[in-house]
Amino acid sequence: MVSIYRCELELHDSLYYATREIGRLYETEPVIHNYALCYALGLIDSEVYSTTVAEEHSYRYFCPEQVPKYEEHLTPLNKQGIYVTPARAITHTAILNTWKYANNNYHVEMEKTQKNIPSFGRAKEIAPESIFEFFVISQKELKLPKWIRVGKWMSKAEVTVEQLPKPQTTEGLFTCKSPLNPLDVIFTNQVISYDVVNMPPVSLIQNVQMRGQYYQFTEMKDIKIPVRMAYHFRS
């Protein structure tokens, strides 16, 4: 029996990650990737981080290489029947921060220089009290954490979880309001139209019209979630 949880995430700090870089502007899109949510919610089993205890601890507290291992870490969730959708902003505001840094070639490369030329950049962040919505689909009951940390600054966020009633499975043409990971739906549904949200590591799609099976609820007819979503990765 499938359980579907509707989760609201309220920011208690500003949220930052570079969705796109436009010159000196680093912009945060009001969407949270489902890969990031899986890590933040603690759904990644610690045993899959590494094959040895020593490597596991080094990965958690120190990362010797900047090489993501999404396939290795997220594939076990498919076996457990757990899937997390990306999160969309229900309400949000943005703030713009300007930061400065100095030329440190003399420090990094031991170069002699008579100049200390400051430079700057701007970060567009999502402000505290912004609220996001996402769904967790599971073949078993889950206990999700109330507090998590997300983004580059490890921003604190509060998670409110509502277990939805038993869904009905319907087949046909439908529109999903929640953002989706295209790699996770193209194998089970026919995607007809969508808007692209460009962001790494996999661009998301939203306002998706598709044909296939989906979950719906009698009292919440605006919620329609594709059936059989699972984590897939580029070969």
- Other C-beta atoms closer than 10 Å to the C-beta of 31 total 20
The answer to whether the CB of 218 falls within 8 A of the CB of 229 is no
In percent, the amount of the chain with pLDDT more than 70 equals 83
**Domain region containing 111:** 3-165
The answer to whether the CB of 145 falls within 8 A of the CB of 42 is yes
Q: What is the pLDDT of residue 58?
A: 40
Is residue 144 assigned to a domain?
yes
Is residue 193 assigned to a domain?
no
Amino acid at 46: S
Is residue 146 assigned to a domain?
yes
Is residue 42 assigned to a domain?
yes
Q: How many domains does the chain have?
A: 1
Is residue 220 assigned to a domain?
no
Whether the pLDDT of residue 137 is over 70: the answer is yes
The answer to whether the CB of 6 falls within 8 A of the CB of 144 is no
Is residue 175 assigned to a domain?
no
Q: Kindly state the average pLDDT of the residues 121-136.
A: 95
Is residue 182 assigned to a domain?
no
pLDDT tens profile 35-62: 999 999 999 865 444 443 334 434 444 5
pLDDT tens profile 74-91: 999 999 999 999 999 999
Which has the closest alpha carbon to 11: 44, 40, 42, 45?
40
pLDDT tens profile 142-183: 999 999 999 998 999 999 999 999 999 999 999 999 999 999
pTM, rounded to two decimals: 0.85
